[in-house]
Chain A
């Protein structure tokens, strides 16, 4: 039982490049989330998915797209990376109450 897994762990992009962050959970949870964490800013919700086939914007959705591929997987895509997107990205899933977080992806955009 791996919980929530994320790939890659680290990534460096140049401005304008694109990439997709992958997230998968094996707990049969309906809800999945993408957060970004910047120093001193706590965790900010980018997008979430309450169930397979649905996605909704969070607090900071601009510059990102998401896909809920199936119940297990929820991906986050940066179409044209910007330095302001340098951050640590966490994926999370939840059943009824608490959220379970993945180990995070540390992304640097130069």
Chain B
């Protein structure tokens, strides 16, 4: 089956530092979604990437989809305490309505004020 590895598992940064999490798949992906889960909360959708080499930005967050569509990354510039949480990548298995996602193990980000 599809294997999704997300690294690092944990990341502690000083407030204001940058943060990056990487998602690697053993197979070519049709598309990939990213979610954020605050401590004690539920996953919340951030973005979907579809095209090879695609780059999307949301304020301080930059999402990239690899040229071979086997990996993706999320980069946060100048982290803030509101960025605390676990970030999951979720590759979709098919193009047909994203019926099944495979979630990575997540990267837990903690911020040192």
Interface residues, chain A, with chain B CB atoms under 8 Å away: 30-31, 35, 40-45, 48, 50, 58-59, 90, 92, 94, 96-104
Contact = CB atoms under 8 A, between A and B. Distances in A.
Contacts of A96: 97-98
B105 A40 contact: yes
A98 B42 contact: no
Contacts, number: 54
A103 B38 CA distance: 11
Contact of A98 (B33, B102, B103): B33
Interface range, B side: 20 to 34
Interface of B: 1, 6, 9, 33, 41-45, 48, 88, 97-106
Contacts of A45: 100-102
B100 A98 contact: no
Contact of A42 (B45, B97, B100, B104): B104
A94 B90 CA distance: 14
